[in-house]
Amino acid sequence: MKNALRSSILASAAALLALPSHAAECDSESICFDAVRENGVVELRAINLRNYPVTYTLEVQTNEMHVDGPRTVTRTLAPKQSEAAITLSGDGGGKERYRYFYNWTVGDKDAQHDNSYRYSLPYAPGKSYRVLQGFGSRFSHTGLEQFAVDFDMPEGTPVHAARDGVVVSVEERHDKGCWEDGCGKYANFIVVLHDDGTTGEYYHLEKNGSVVTVGERVVKGQKIGYSGNTGHTTMPHLHFAVYRAADWGNTQSVPVAFESANGLVTRPRRGARYEAK
């Protein structure tokens, strides 16, 4: 199981009062929000510091200022770009009090998944591993995780890229797995951004279990790391899914098809074993 909140690629913040002009609040050198004032107007600008698209949700709360448009917006920001997200103006009383909150994730909320693409199984050719949870498994693969797959892999099993892409996030410092609330923050993982704006995500890797680095281009079938038992988990396994960015830092899994030595797998079944080509 993958916890929905991934502390190293999702963030949230609040500004209790209006910030000075150009005093940007940034998260992990990935995304910033800058309050720019001019003639009584405050423009909240989103700034993407990364070389890949990010999808953010920004909400502003105020009783003393007028908000030009919706108070909550969800948008995808292209690499190294900035944009005006929300504009506020004073009520004539000189008060400029407001709060804002945000969350973000990698990828494009409008990504059109290439449904014709055939993914590799995320392990070495000739190997097969039992499916612990397939699409729609009631234990934890519902809602946002509906199209995730958990493979019963011993710790230290090589993990291979299911599709070409660019590595945009790696976490490998943790050595703890547990099932209590908050255990998700201990997950090790690799996130690969695909050319169509979706992400392939590989979770519960072992400590120091990545052999790739952020910014590296990987190809389908390439070894990228080693499975483990970290994060929100009850046993060693690999959680794999393809996601589209959603609001408030969430990601929605999308259905995919896998190539196997026995033919095309469009709905991985719990208890089945599929040999990788």
pLDDT range class, residue 93, cuts 50, 70, 90 = low
> What average pLDDT is seen over the chain?
89
Cβ(245)–Cβ(105) below 8 Å: yes
pLDDT range class, residue 4, cuts 50, 70, 90 = very low
Averaged pLDDT for residues 66-89: 96
Cβ(180)–Cβ(129) below 8 Å: no
Averaged pLDDT for residues 59-71: 94
Residue 22 has pLDDT above 80, yes or no: no
Report the pLDDT value the prediction gives residue 29, as an integer from 0 to 100: 72
Question: CB atoms < 10 A from the CB of 56, how many?
Answer: 26
How many residues appear in the chain? 277
Report the pLDDT value the prediction gives residue 66, as an integer from 0 to 100: 92
Report the pLDDT value the prediction gives residue 15, as an integer from 0 to 100: 41
Query: Strand 205-210's sheet: what is its strand order?
Result: 158-160, 223-227, 205-210
| Percentage of residues in the chain having pLDDT higher than 90 | 80
Structure confidence by residue, pLDDT tens digits, 142-162 = 899 999 999 999 999 999 999
List % helix, strand, coil for the chain (3-state, nearest 5).
5, 45, 50
DSSP lists the bridge partners of residue 13 as 102
Q: Report how far residue 39's alpha carbon sits from residue 32's, in angstroms, rounded to the nearest whole number.
A: 23
Radius of gyration of the chain from its Cα atoms, rounded to whole angstroms: 21
Q: Report how far residue 102's alpha carbon sits from residue 92's, in angstroms, rounded to the nearest whole number.
A: 27
Report the pLDDT value the prediction gives residue 228, as an integer from 0 to 100: 98
Q: How far is CA 161 from CA 191, 212, 218, 233, 240, in A?
A: 10, 11, 7, 22, 10
3-state SS, 108-158, equals CCCCCCCCCCEEECCCCCCCEEEEEECCCCCCCCCHHHCCCEEECCCCCCE
Residue 13 has pLDDT above 50, yes or no: no
pLDDT range class, residue 2, cuts 50, 70, 90 = low
Structure confidence by residue, pLDDT tens digits, 166-183 = 999 999 999 999 999 999
pLDDT range class, residue 91, cuts 50, 70, 90 = low
Q: Which residue has the higher pLDDT, 21 or 58?
A: 58
